Amino acid sequence: MRTNKLSVIGALALLLGAGSAIAAEHHAEWERAADNEVANLPSLQRGARNFMSYCSGCHSLKYVRYSRIGTDLHISDAALAQLLVRPGDKPTDYIKASMPASDAQDWFGKQPPDLSLVARSRGTDWIFNFLTTFYADPASRQTGVNNLQLPGTAMPHVLASLQGVQTLRTANHEAGATPEAAAKAEGAEHGEAHEGKASPFEPGVVGSLTPVQYDEFVRDTVNFLDYASDPSQLERQGLGIWVVLFLLMFTGIAYMLKGEYWKDVR
Amino acid sequence: MSDHATDDTVPEVDESRRKFLVAATVGTGAVGAVLTAVPFLSSWSPSESARAAGLPTEVDLSKIEAGQMATFFWRKQPIYVVKRTPEMVASLKSHDADLKDPKSDASDQPAYAKNEDRSLKPDVLVLIGTCTHLGCLPKTRFTPGDATVTANWPGGFFCPCHGSKFDLAGRVFQGSPASVNLRVPPYSFKGDNTLVIGADAAAEKGAA
Amino acid sequence: MGAASETKGGGFRAWLNKRMPVDQFMADQLTGYYAPKNFNIWYFFGSLALLVFVMQIVTGIFITMHYKPGEATAFNSVEYLMREVPYGWLLRTLHSTGASAFFIVVYLHMARALLYGSYKAPRELLWVIGMLIYFALMAEAFMGYVLPWGNMSFWGAQVIINIFNTIPGIGPDLVEWIRGDYAVADSTLNRFFSLHVIAMPFLLALLILLHLVALRQVGSNNPDGIEIKENLGPDGKPVDGIPFHPYYTLKDVVGVGVFLTLFAVVVFFAPTFGGLFLEKPNFEPANPMSTPEHIAPTWYFTPYYAILRAIPDQRLGALAFALSVLAFVFLPWLDRAKNKSIRYRGLASKALLGMFFIVFLVLMWLGLQPAEPVYVLMARICIPLYFAFFILLPFVSKADGNGPVPSRVTYHAH
């Protein structure tokens, strides 16, 4: 009967809700959204420069050519050669890591992964959090740092000169910490509450950028990696608007034609 | 239910509206079909990899001896680079009557190669080493008087596939199956000793 | 017939028709084929399925021009297609979105059959051929997914092929034979490439042709479930029928327009569809030493996968998995109602069918979730409900589906 159907649906809904709640516990406690915009060209350009300066030493972008970045991000050949292309590389070359793979294996125990598709395989949020949640952990890590997004990462804190090296606030994991207390302790800038949660970090060594500037830096870099993982997205949506409009027009005309002939059917 | 057999309220069929709507639908559909074909057909155009590989090639001319030829590749085609001696250049004047197209009117070369020695600088000949008949690689027969080619052979190229003969400027001789002179690619010089195949002022303007 | 007149349109048509029954065919299949006039929205999906099939073939032909099968080259060739081939990204996205669109359309097409009893006599064979198309389509999609050789391609193949291990006696040998190696490897990839590009498309095309022939023979069902051929007018044509051309050719064109619009929105604005159509782990190359965090097949397989995973015994799980797919085949014989359409069955039948649709969707969602206890528990509740549909159908349909049906279809002129 109708009531049976409803009660079945109700029971399922309850279980679904319970399921979602349990699933949510598995997310990292401190996860922020990258909020990058691929349409923001200057951001992409800064991100490209950030990548070449800080990341390309160890990480390759093996599916990306310098020249393609130049075309897509409207960077002139001269600027490309001066700021992005590694000396010795041609503009049409794919971007290789400077560090030889064997050295990386020796120093880090594994080869730093290629980053051409990382924004697609891990997601921009993941990368943003990875780059912003390094903290001092000399006790357990040879590199001296650990990471909330990827605990036990072999990567050192390459951006330490910019962000500084924060420390993990041990009190944060207790129920007592509140956003207000955190903000009061560190000042609004660093201990900013995010969605009502207090930052798990407190400042340690200070870097050359403020936390807000550092977030922007990381956002630009993530933005660039987002573009690099799928360059077509820059033109895809523009083209899509025209296609959808055309199809709507076609459907409208076809609908009128159908209606005209179906007047015959009584 | 209602009587389906005859219905007096059936409106008159508006034939002209139907024709118009059919035309509009078919027309829009046809436009859509053509536009849809564009990405499929474009996908056959050379990819970025092909174009990257087809960028200009630089050649060190000092490595080639006078009177000798070296072969390079540009855009997957063999490029013959010949360091012509003054005698070789002089030999070009004597046999216009034996050539099909001595002024290179019909053949494919950049404007700066539409002269008697078909080159920017007479001492460097740059040709696409593909016979204009059916595409084989012509062999060198630079020695004048080489009887194995023909009587009064001034020196040049001989294609082994079907017997086409070209002079030391790549111009085709009468009696050859090929009908046009060997093609000259765009090229330029960087300094005295570097030849850049595939790049000249015009090619850079319309950079692929 | 003079040589001059043979080159004109009329002359050419006569010349052609003397040698091939073109006009006869058009008259028989289009203007002379009468379909019920009361088709509703559920009746678009057959022609849309055919459209998607053609789209997959055409886009497939073009991406095969750039794809390089083989462990070392497959992944790179897909990135090459996405980045370096002019419009390669569009061709690939059309094909990947098309695969999911195919299943959306086919599931809705099958739902129509369940709603209106389109599998019942005399359409049992039509239904069985349709099920064969469904099985072939699942195989085709599964193999196609392996081809990019991403990490999910590899591990999905590993897991699904291992299910065959459970077959008594021949299991392990069969699995090794399917793979051509001791684990999913280059040999597996290459044979899947051949099957996906040539063998299965031919088989699908043949099955689709048979499906259309069988349909033509018995004629379409309709939302009221009454046979229009039983009520002929003075002209010998069904009174509730209308010629397929121009009425349904034109109506289907509108359906195509709406479908393509929605399709284009996905292709151009949400090609990964939140990780459902193009899954995140597959943007990493296949790695035999690293299993993705949670392995799930693509969404269209997940109802059956949820069933497989929820049963703690491997052999039983595989059996339940197989049965859950095969059960559909028996519907024409499980359903013992006199009336075809759900419109003329009782509340029990409606509840049973409604329950089945909901359970199917819930299982689909469950199969996408990680293998955690709460989801496994929910699946274990859904499994008996799923099979209950098939088990109870003979009894509910016999009790519930014998009331009066109208003699004419329900149709409102518009």
Work out the pLDDT band at A182, boundaries 50, 70, 90.
very low
Residues C41 and C165 in one domain: yes
Residues C263 and C123 in one domain: yes
- Closest in C84, C240, C253 to B47, CB measured: C84
Residue B73's CB is within 10 A of a number of other CB atoms, namely 12
Domain count for chain C:
2
Angstrom distance (rounded) from CA C238 to CA C36 = 8
Angstrom distance (rounded) from CA C248 to CA A258 = 9
Query: Which range has the worst mean pLDDT, B12-26, C33-47, C104-118?
Result: B12-26
pLDDT of B73? 92
Full 3-state SS string of C293-335: CCCCCCHHHHHHHHHHHHCCCHHHHHHHHHHHHHHHHHHHHHC
In contact, A261 and B11? CB cutoff 8 Å: no
Chain B touched by A244 (CB under 8 Å)? no
Rounded to the nearest angstrom, the minimum Cα separation between A247 and chain C is: 6
Angstrom distance (rounded) from CA A237 to CA A231 = 12
Testing the interface with B: which of A250, A251, A264, A265 to mutate, by most B Cβ within 10 A? Answer: A250
In contact, C241 and C35? CB cutoff 8 Å: yes
pLDDT at A175 over 80: no
Computed from CA positions of residues A96, A101, A107, A113, in that sequence, does the dihedral angle turn out positive or negative? positive
Residues C236 and C378 in one domain: no
Of all helices (H) and strands (E), which one includes residue C154? helix C151-162
Angstrom distance (rounded) from CA C92 to CA C268 = 12
Residue C164 lies in a domain: yes
pLDDT at A148 over 70: yes
Local structure of B92: helix, strand or coil: helix
Out of C232, C263, C295, pick the residue that ends a domain.
Answer: C295
Angstrom distance (rounded) from CA A61 to CA C388 = 53
pLDDT of A21? 40
Q: What share of chain A is helix, strand, coil (3-state, %, to 5)?
A: 50, 10, 40
pLDDT at A18 over 80: no
Fold type of domain A30-229: Cytochrome Bc1 Complex; Chain D, domain 2 (1.10.760)
pLDDT at B15 over 50: yes
Q: Give the tens place of pLDDT for each residue, B175-201.
A: 999 999 999 999 999 888 899 999 887
pLDDT of C8? 61
Residues C279 and C348 in one domain: no
Local structure of C378: helix, strand or coil: helix
Specify the higher pLDDT residue, A19 or A194: A194
Residues C93 and C166 in one domain: yes
pLDDT at C118 over 90: yes
Of all helices (H) and strands (E), which one includes residue A206? strand A201-206
Report, as an integer, the average pLDDT of A57-75: 95
CATH number, domain containing residue C132: 1.20.810.10
Angstrom distance (rounded) from CA A243 to CA A11 = 43
- Closest in B4, B5, B43 to C86, CB measured: B43
Beta bridge partners of A164: A206
**Closest residue on chain A to B10 (Cα):** A264
Mean pLDDT of all residues belonging to chain A? 83
pLDDT of A237? 94
Q: What are the structural domain ranges in chain B?
A: 58-205
Angstrom distance (rounded) from CA C322 to CA C338 = 29
Residues C276 and C345 in one domain: no
Q: Which chain A residues touch B16 with a CB distance below 8 Å?
A: none
Local structure of C148: helix, strand or coil: coil
CATH number, domain containing residue C300: 1.10.287
Angstrom distance (rounded) from CA B146 to CA B199 = 35
Q: Which chain A residues touch C267 with a CB distance below 8 Å?
A: 240
Report, as an integer, the average pLDDT of B94-111: 89
Q: Which chains touch B (3 or more CB pairs under 8 A)?
A: A, C
Residue C22 lies in a domain: no
Specify the higher pLDDT residue, C390 or B116: C390
pLDDT at A185 over 70: no
Q: Which chain C residues touch A18 with a CB distance below 8 Å?
A: 374
What is the count of residue pairs from B and C with beta carbons less than 8 Å apart?
42
In contact, A15 and A23? CB cutoff 8 Å: no
pLDDT of B140? 93
Residue A169's identity, in one-letter code, is R
In contact, C309 and C302? CB cutoff 8 Å: no
Q: Rounded to the nearest 10 degrees, how much is the dihedral formed by the CA atoms of A256, A259, A263, A264?
A: 100
Strand order of the β-sheet with A134-136 is A145-147, A134-136, A164-168, A201-206
Angstrom distance (rounded) from CA B13 to CA C385 = 53
Residues C183 and C304 in one domain: no
Contacts by B87-91, CB closer than 8 A, 24 or more apart: B88/B142, B88/B155, B88/B168, B89/B117, B89/B122, B89/B123, B89/B168, B91/B144, B91/B154, B91/B155, B91/B167, B91/B168
Rounded to the nearest angstrom, the minimum Cα separation between A207 and chain C is: 33
Q: Which chain B residues touch C85 with a CB distance below 8 Å?
A: 43, 47-48
- Which of A105-119, A126-140, C248-262 has the highest mean predicted lDDT (pLDDT)? C248-262
Work out the pLDDT band at C206, boundaries 50, 70, 90.
very high
Which percentage of chain C shows pLDDT scores above 90? Answer: 93
Testing the interface with B: which of A85, A89, A92, A249 to mutate, by most B Cβ within 10 A? Answer: A92
pLDDT of C116? 97
In contact, B196 and B57? CB cutoff 8 Å: yes
Active site residue B162: yes
Q: Does domain B58-205 have CATH number 2.102.10.10?
A: yes
Tokens of residue B67, six digits: 């009177």
Work out the pLDDT band at B145, boundaries 50, 70, 90.
confident
Residues C348 and C204 in one domain: no
Residue C23's CB is within 10 A of a number of other CB atoms, namely 12
pLDDT at C413 over 70: yes
Distance of CA B3 to the CA centre of its chain: 75
pLDDT at A24 over 80: no
pLDDT at A132 over 50: yes
Residue C289's identity, in one-letter code, is M
Computed from CA positions of residues C181, C184, C188, C189, in that sequence, does the dihedral angle turn out positive or negative? negative
Out of C247, C273, C295, pick the residue that ends a domain.
Answer: C295
pLDDT of A191? 45
pLDDT at A69 over 90: yes
Q: Rounded to the nearest 10 degrees, how much is the dihedral formed by the CA atoms of C183, C187, C188, C191?
A: -160
pLDDT at A6 over 90: no
Residue C324's CB is within 10 A of a number of other CB atoms, namely 21
Residues C239 and C353 in one domain: no
**Closest residue on chain A to B52 (Cα):** A92
Q: Give the tens place of pLDDT for each residue, A218-264.
A: 999 999 999 999 999 999 999 999 999 999 999 999 999 999 999 99
Q: Give the tens place of pLDDT for each residue, B41-69.
A: 999 999 999 998 888 989 999 989 999 99
pLDDT at B130 over 80: yes
Tell me B123's DSSP state. Answer: T
Report, as an integer, the average pLDDT of B113-125: 91
Instruction: Note down the domain range covering C112.
Output: 28-295
Out of C295, C313, C345, pick the residue that ends a domain.
Answer: C295
Mean pLDDT of all residues belonging to chain B? 88
Report, as an integer, the average pLDDT of C311-331: 95
Work out the pLDDT band at B208, boundaries 50, 70, 90.
very low
In contact, C150 and C283? CB cutoff 8 Å: yes
Angstrom distance (rounded) from CA A196 to CA C166 = 51
Tokens of residue C234, six digits: 């003075």
* Residue at token pair 């035309």: B23
Chain A touched by C267 (CB under 8 Å)? yes
Q: What are the structural domain ranges in chain A?
A: 30-229
Residues C268 and C318 in one domain: no
Mean pLDDT of all residues belonging to chain C? 94
Among C157, C174, C172, C143, CA closest to C288:
C157
Rounded to the nearest angstrom, the minimum Cα separation between C82 and chain A is: 8
Work out the pLDDT band at A25, boundaries 50, 70, 90.
very low
pLDDT of A193? 52
pLDDT at C204 over 60: yes
Report, as an integer, the average pLDDT of C138-146: 97
Report, as an integer, the average pLDDT of B131-135: 93
Distance of CA C169 to the CA centre of its chain: 32
Rounded to the nearest angstrom, the minimum Cα separation between C320 and chain B is: 43
- Closest in C87, C234, C253 to B43, CB measured: C87
In contact, C183 and C158? CB cutoff 8 Å: yes
pLDDT of C147? 98
What is the ipTM for the molecules in this complex?
0.92
Angstrom distance (rounded) from CA A219 to CA A35 = 7
Among A123, A127, A133, CA closest to A163:
A133
Q: Give the tens place of pLDDT for each residue, B153-167.
A: 888 999 999 999 999
